[in-house]
Amino acid sequence: MERSIRQMIKDKKEKQKTRLNFMEKLVPGLLLLCAILSVLTTLGIVFTLIVETFTFFNRVSIIEFFTNKDWYPFFEGDPDYGIWPLISGTLMITGIAMLVAIPFGLAAAIYLSEYATDRVRRFIKPILEVLAGIPTIVYGFFALTFVTPVLQNVIPSLPVFNALSPGIVVGIMIIPMVASLSEDAMSSVPNAIREGALGLGATRFEVAVKVVLPAALSGIIASFVLAISRAIGETMIVTVAGGATPKLTMDVTESIQTMTSYIVQVSLGDAGFGTTIYYSIYAVGMTLFLFTLIMNLIAQYISRRFREEY
Amino acid sequence: MKTIMDEKKVQKAPRKEVEQKKDGQPVYSIENFNLWYGKDQALTDISFDIPEHQVTAIIGPSGCGKSTFIKALNRMVEMVPIVKMSGDIKYRDNNIFDNKYKVEDLRTKVGMVFQKPNPFPKSIYENVVYGPKIHGIKNKKVLDEIVEKSLKGAALWEEVKDRLNENAYGLSGGQQQRLCIARCLAIEPDVILMDEPTSALDPISTLKVEELVQELKKEFSIIIVTHNMQQAARISDKTAFFLNGEVVEFSDTNKLFSNPSDKRTEDYITGRFG
Amino acid sequence: MQLIDQAKVKKNMQSRLTKNNILKGVFFGATLFALVVLVILLYRIFTQGIGYLDLQFFQNFASRFPEKAGIKAAFFGSLWVMAVIAPVSLIIGVGTAIYLEEYAKKNRFTTFIQLNISNLAGVPSIVFGLLGLTVFVRMLEMGRSVLAGGLTMSLLILPIIVVAAQEAIRSVPKELREASFAMGATKWQTIRRVVLPASIPGILTGGILALSRAIGETAPLLMIGALTFVAYLPENLLSGFTVMPIQIFNWTSRPQTEFHDVAAAGIIVLLVMLLIMNSIAVLIRNKFSKRL
């Protein structure tokens, strides 16, 4: 080499200097911009919902929204805008889903964390992942074309659109979420605690229920709350199989409508921009957003407030 | 790439470029240097000069601040966010904490070899050319030459010349450490800082690195932290003994080990503590 | 005096062990339930859809007649939307992750961004649809286009990508960063040449999984008005479009059961596409997991 490396680096340095300095200043700014975009998304959601909901409440009084017990926005002349039927439909679906997801999800979590050998775990976890990765429209199809007919064999009076079938399928969809989050919580209970109990002669079951479950309780409950949030926001399954008849009912065999499926119904229809019906989806969306936000905040609070220190 | 190069000739070739250095000028002069981690003082009132073209060893029991000190020399210590410092460290008449003196420039001139070998998860070739590339050297022919020269300089060339494009993680621990030295040599630094470079290596690899250090001091000024007193005695010209964040004694290695002037140094090197 | 009545313990032991074994079976059965559902679901869809799955199915557009209905427009529509989502969400997501992991100071603002991202992940997808409808379709006047749909979906999967990329970046050992800084590299040089290459497998795996979430999403695109009956292919980013899940939804909603079989055929195509994407993600993960 004619020149030493040191000299070459020195020569290049002058040339590189401006460019490098520029990059060092520019890049953090660009990256910050990316990070701020996620904040803007949240702001965008909140702002959109608030502004359009406000427009809606200029046309329909907020008192009617919360006191009227009927939701018939498509009635010519005298439409009813009472949110409760949609909320009850949503909560009914969520309730059924939880009745499915909690026992099965928790049992799977206990099995995976306390009983399963490594090999079994390596077989079952991917299955749960696949189940979690199936698009919701596919679950909707499954609810309508398989679960509903099967249920009709048991309950002959069951109509094609009902709350029961999509509720069960939403529950199935959520099982992997409950199972994996609960299992995480249970696996983080240190083995020393388990061994302590096993050493005293406790059976696996006793260890799981009397030692591990209480220790991991906050994580498990947080997983339930997140699952509730997920069920509330679920759209396609209920749209396909739940029907479009908003009503205040406790009968799971009836056709209902959820907040999400109402929003879809409007977006599929011909309610034009600027109509009251158009703005109503924002009011419903706002309600939905608040429900899920509160659930998420509760879950975060639980898992932070009651985080076990080992 | 040149076809056949005589290995020894390259290693012992005189430095072609001589920087303006006044004779006897130290590479580093440290004056009243203090360092705190938060509220805990890790280094207290350090003052001494480090000579060029010699091996300066820094010894002391663990927790005495020797690693902190060597990381202060290339300002790597600032990666810990709670660090506070006072006093001066001059590298060849530049105050390294001067705002105008860029930390990247300092580190280009002062290379570092770490405790654990830390090659990049790239090929051997890419590891060596990393430095030259970030400093703007892109010519493939030049890079090839640098790779050969640096690997020879780190006494690794013969072992890896046929598999330069293989991942560096396939090398043994000792080879990885020598690769890290080669990576350091590739930008021809002025000073090489070594932070316990053999602590993760087996005895044979340790010996190779020690021999290498002897070879390298002809071209570079070397500052080496070691917890191994025998190693310091074997390879260094000067030794500084650190205790509780202070320099107890700094003198010629021979003198420090045969005739220490401080009682604490004597206690340490005779194995009474540490 | 003996505090523990050994005879009683012995007597109880048998029933405790039986209880343990029975419940182990119950837990295992509950776990298997997931597997059973999966098998039934796949079996049903496969047997229903396979009859309609032929070359014509890929060549035809939507039709009023089940035997003529095809998935061409939806298939290419999905690809078009993907082509928007992939670069947009990856660039913004990885950028955010780099900022949070490498540049952000530990202060309230950073905590706020982090909290915001995890909350965003919990917002129902249909709400993102409302956002897209208002901001992209109406305010920015993109219309019911591929671009509006792709941008909406990018925002939806952004939190997933950010979290995956953060994990990947965090798993790069700090020794590698130190090695780079010690050579005199600047921060950005270190990130670009050391941190990013080392974390790219994790980022890609997370990115592909996020994309596979996007390709199956229906609700947000219904909101922004992806069409349900399309007999043409998108020509540019501002064309109208449909995607596979929406086409499947459309077929599912029809009363004629023949269309349900067509929907099943569509689902098979969608699931195979997801399977391919997931396999690629797993391959990448396995190939690179040994390296670091």
Given an 8 Å threshold on Cβ–Cβ distance, is B111 in contact with C183? Answer: yes
Assigned domain for C229 exists: yes
Q: How far is CA A13 from CA A10, B21, B84, in A?
A: 5, 21, 30
What mean pLDDT is predicted for residues C56-66?
79
Residue-wise pLDDT for B195-213, tens only, equals: 999 988 899 999 999 999 9
Does any CB of chain C come closer than 8 Å to the CB of residue A103? yes
Do C193 and B134 form a contact (C-beta atoms < 8 A)?
A: yes
Per-residue pLDDT at A251: 87
Closest CB from A31, A48, A235 relative to C134: A48
Task: Compute the Cα dihedral for B198, B201, B206, B212 and give only its sign.
Answer: negative
Average pLDDT of chain B to the nearest whole number: 87
d(CA C71, CA C272): 14
C242 and C139, same structural domain?
yes
HSE (side-chain half, CA atoms, 13 Å) at C98: 27
Instruction: List beta partners, residue B242.
Output: B247
Residue-wise pLDDT for A137-188, tens only, equals: 999 999 999 999 999 999 999 999 999 999 999 999 999 999 999 999 998 8
d(CA A243, CA A193): 50
C85 and C42, same structural domain?
no
For A24-32, the CB contacts below 8 A with 24+ separation are: A24/C186, A24/C187, A24/C188, A27/C188, A28/C99, A28/C103, A30/C95, A31/C95, A31/C96, A31/C98, A31/C99, A31/C103, A32/C99, A32/C103
Does any CB of chain A come closer than 8 Å to the CB of residue C47? no
C189 and C115, same structural domain?
yes
Closest CB from C176, C182, C189 relative to B120: C176
Number of domains in chain C: 2
Expressed as residue numbers, the domain containing C135 is 57-289
Average pLDDT of chain C to the nearest whole number: 89
Q: How far is CA A177 from CA A170, A231, B246, in A?
A: 12, 11, 56
Domain A82-305: CATH superfamily is MetI-like (1.10.3720.10)
Q: Where are the domains of chain B?
A: 23-269
Domain B23-269: CATH superfamily is P-loop containing nucleotide triphosphate hydrolases (3.40.50.300)
* Nearest C-alpha in B relative to A12: B136
Say if residue C290's pLDDT is above 50.
Answer: yes
Give the percent of chain A with pLDDT over 70.
97
- Neighboring chain A residues of C260 at a CB cutoff of 8 Å: 141, 144-145
Residue-wise pLDDT for B83-97, tens only, equals: 999 999 999 888 999
Give the percent of chain C with pLDDT over 70.
97
C270 and C255, same structural domain?
yes
Tokens describing residue C245? 């899940």
Beta-strand (E) ranges in B98-207? Answer: 110-113, 191-195
d(CA B17, CA A6): 9
Residue-wise pLDDT for A188-244, tens only, equals: 888 888 999 999 888 889 999 889 998 899 899 999 999 999 999 999 999 999 988
C84 and C13, same structural domain?
no
* Nearest C-alpha in B relative to C288: B121
Count the residues in chain C. Answer: 292
Closest CB from C183, C197, C198 relative to B107: C183
C121 and C41, same structural domain?
no
pLDDT band at C237 (very low <50, low <70, confident <90, very high): confident
pLDDT band at B14 (very low <50, low <70, confident <90, very high): very low
Closest CB from C179, C184, C193 relative to B135: C184
Do A182 and A106 form a contact (C-beta atoms < 8 A)?
A: yes
The pairing of beta strand B246-252 with beta strand B40-51 = unpaired
- Neighboring chain A residues of B104 at a CB cutoff of 8 Å: 20
Q: How many CB pairs under 8 A join A and C?
A: 243
Closest CB from B74, B114, B122 relative to C175: B114
Assigned domain for C1 exists: no
H or E segment to which residue B221 belongs: strand B221-225
C113 and C46, same structural domain?
no
Assigned domain for C211 exists: yes
Interface residues of chain B, partner chain A, Cβ below 8 Å:
15-17, 104-105, 108, 132, 135-137, 142, 145-146, 149, 186-188, 190
Given an 8 Å threshold on Cβ–Cβ distance, is A260 in contact with C219? Answer: yes
